[in-house]
A = this chain, B = another copy of it.
Amino acid sequence: MSRDVTYNELSAKALEILRKGAFLTTAGNNKINTMTIGWGNIGIAWQKPVFMVMVRPSRYTYELIEKSNEFTVSIPFKDMGRALGICGSKSGRELDKFAAAGLKTVAAKKISTPVIADCGLHYECKVIYKQEMIPEQLAAADQSACYPSGDYHTLYFGEIVASYIDY
Contact = CB atoms under 8 A, between A and B. Distances in A.
B43 A40 contact: yes
A145 B46 contact: yes
A89 interface: no
- Chain A contact residues, majority secondary structure: mixed
Contacts of A18: 43-44
A126 to B, nearest CB: 8
A45 interface: yes
A42 to B, nearest CB: 6
Given A12-B12, A12-B15, A138-B129, A38 B44 contact: yes
Contact of A137 (B38, B41, B130, B142): B130
B39 A46 contact: yes
The 7 closest A-B pairs by CB, nearest first: A12-B12, A41-B43, A41-B41, A11-B15, A128-B139, A46-B142, A8-B16
